[in-house]
Structure 1
Amino acid sequence: MKLTAEQRTEMVKKAIMCQQPERVPIISKAEPSYAIEYAGYDLKTALWDPELIVKATDKMYTDIYCDAGGNMPRFPLIYKTNGSRAYVPRELDDFVQHPEVSGLLVEEYDEYITDPFKCIVSKVVPRLYPKLAADGFEGSLNYLRAMISENQVKSKYLAGCAAVEKKHGVINIRRGAIEAPFDFVADLLRGFTGVSMDIRRNQEKLLEAVEATTPLMYRLAKILNPNPATIPSLFMPLHMPSYMRTKDFEKLYWPSFKKLVCDLVNDGYTIQIFFEKNWSRYYDYLQELPTGVIAYFEEDDLGVVKEKIGKKLCIMGNFPITMLRLNTKQECIDKAKEILDKAAPGGGYLFCMDKSILSLSDAKPENLIAVSEFVHEYGVYK
Structure 2
Amino acid sequence: MKPTAEQRVEMLKKAIMCEQPERVPVVSKAEPSYAIQYAGYDLKEAQWDPALILKATDKMYEDIYCDAGGNMPRFPLVYKTNGSKAFVPRESDDFVQHPEVTGLLAEEYDEYIADPFKCIVETVMPRLYPKLSTKDTEGGLNLLRAMIADNQSKSQYLGGLAELGKKHGIINIRRGAIEAPFDFVADLLRGFTGISMDIRRDQGRLKAAVEATLPLMVRLGKIVNPTPGTIPSLFIPLHMPSYIRTKDFENLYWPTFKKMVDTFISDGYTLQIFFEKNWERYYDFLQELPKGVIAYFEEDDMGVVKEKIGKNVCIMGNYPITMLRLNTKQQCIDKAKEIIDKAAPGGGYLFCMDKSILTIDDAKPENLIAVSEFVHEYGVYK
Q: Do the two structures share a fold, i.e. TM-score over 0.5?
A: yes
* AA of the residue aligned to 1:294: I
CA distance in 2, matches of 1:226, 1:243: 32
Residue 143 in 1 paired to residue 154 in 2? no
SS in 1 for 2:230: coil
Number of the residue aligned with 2:252: 252
Distance in 1 between residues matched to 2:306 and 2:143, nearest whole Å: 47
Partner amino acid, structure 2, of 1:226: P
2:360, 2:253 → 1: CA distance? 36
1:94 aligned residue:
94
Residues of 1 paired with 2:174 and 2:133: CA distance? 32
CA–CA separation in structure 2 for the residues paired with 1:223 and 1:203: 30
Q: Do structure 1's residue 49 and structure 2's residue 49 form an aligned pair?
A: yes
* Secondary structure at the counterpart of residue 269 of structure 2: coil
Which residue of 1 is the match for residue 179 of structure 2?
Answer: 179
Give distance in 2, aligned partners of 1:5 and 1:376: 15
Residue 22 of structure 1: how far off its partner (Å): 0.2
> C-alpha displacement at 1:314, in angstroms?
0.2
After TM superposition, give the deviation of residue 360 of structure 1 in Å.
0.7
Secondary structure of 1:140 counterpart: helix
- Structural mapping, 1:233-244, within 5 Å: 233-244=233-244
Is the counterpart of residue 274 in structure 1 residue 274 in structure 2?
A: yes
Written as runs of structure 1 = structure 2, the 5 A alignment for 1:294-305 is: 294-305=294-305
Q: Does 1:164 find its partner at 2:151? A: no
Deviation at 1:84, TM superposition (A): 0.2
The whole-number CA distance in structure 2 between the counterparts of 1:128 and 1:109 is 17
Q: Secondary structure at the match of 1:3?
A: coil
Aligned to 2:224: 224
How far has the Cα of 1:135 moved from its partner? 1.2
Paired letter, 1:254: W
What amino acid sits opposite 2:216 in the alignment?
Answer: L
Shift of 1:345: 0.1
Structure-1 separation of matches of 2:314 and 2:176: 19
Q: Distance in 2 between matches of 1:157 and 1:55?
A: 11
**Matches of 2:130 and 2:5 in 1, distance apart?**
44
Distance 2:225 2:322 in 1: 33
Cα distance in 1 for partners of 2:46, 2:283 equals: 41
Which residue of structure 1 lines up, in the alignment, with residue 192 of structure 2?
192
Q: Which residue pairs with 1:17 in the alignment?
A: 17
Structure 1 Cα separation of the partners of residues 265 and 60 of structure 2 = 32
Give me the whole-angstrom Cα distance separating, in 2, the residues matched to 1:168 and 1:238. 31
Q: How does 1:21-170 map to 2 (within 5 A)?
A: 21-170=21-170
Q: 1:204-223 alignment to 2 at 5 Å?
A: 204-223=204-223
CA distance in 1, matches of 2:60, 2:122: 43
1:269 & 1:135 partners in 2: Cα distance?
42
In structure 1, what is the equivalent of residue 369 of structure 2?
Answer: 369
2:345 pairs with 1:334 = no
Give the partner amino acid of 1:304: V
Q: How many angstroms apart in 1 are the aligned matches of 2:105 and 2:186?
A: 12
1:80-133 deviations in Å (ceiling 9; x for gaps): 000000000000000000000000000000000000000000100000000011
Cα distance in 1 between the residues matched to 2:2 and 2:324? 24
CA distance in 2, matches of 1:374, 1:78: 39
Q: Structure 1 CA distance, aligned partners of 2:239 and 2:296?
A: 13
- Rounded to whole Å, the distance in 2 between the matches of 1:308 and 1:136 is 58
Distance 2:4 2:181 in 1: 38
Deviations 1:130-176 (A, max 9, x none): 00111121111111001000011111111111111110000000000
The match for 1:315 is 315
Quote the Cα distance in structure 2 between the aligned partners of 1:238 and 1:369: 29
Query: Quick one: which amino acid aligns to residue 87 of structure 1?
Result: F
Q: Distance in 2 between matches of 1:136 and 1:151?
A: 24
Separation in 1, partners of 2:157, 2:236: 22
Aligned CA-pair RMSD = 0.4
Letter in 1 for 2:104: L
What are structure 1's unaligned runs of at least 5 residues?
Answer: none
CA distance in 2, matches of 1:379, 1:2: 13
Question: In structure 2, how many angstroms separate the alpha carbons of the residues matched to 1:43 and 1:379?
Answer: 34
Runs of 4+ in 1 over 4 A off after TM superposition: none
Residue deviations 1:35-70, cap 9 Å, x none? 000000000000000000000000000000000000
Give the match's secondary structure for 1:235: strand
Q: Distance in 1 between matches of 2:288 and 2:263?
A: 13
Count how many residue pairs are aligned between Structure 1 and Structure 2: 382
* TM-score, normalised with respect to structure 1: 1.00
Partners of 2:357 and 2:50 lie apart in 1 by 19
- Match of residue 351 from structure 1: 351
Q: Which amino acid aligns with 1:36?
A: I
Q: 2: distance between equivalents of 1:77 and 1:191?
A: 24
Aligned-partner Cα distance in 1 for 2:338–2:55: 34
Distance in structure 1 (CA, Å) of the matches to 2:355 and 2:252: 26
Deviations 1:201-239 (A, max 9, x none): 000000000000000000000100111010100000000
Tell me how far apart the structure 2 counterparts of residues 75 and 144 of structure 1 sit (CA, whole Å): 16
Displacement after TM superposition at 1:247 (Å): 0.3
Q: Residue type of the partner of 1:333?
A: I
Q: Secondary structure at the match of 1:27?
A: coil
**What is the DSSP-based 3-state SS (H/G/I as helix, E as strand, rest coil) of the residue aligned with 1:61?**
helix
Amino acid at match of 2:5: A
Q: Match of 1:79, as an amino acid? A: Y
Distance 1:374 1:359 in 2: 22
Corresponding residue of 1:380: 380
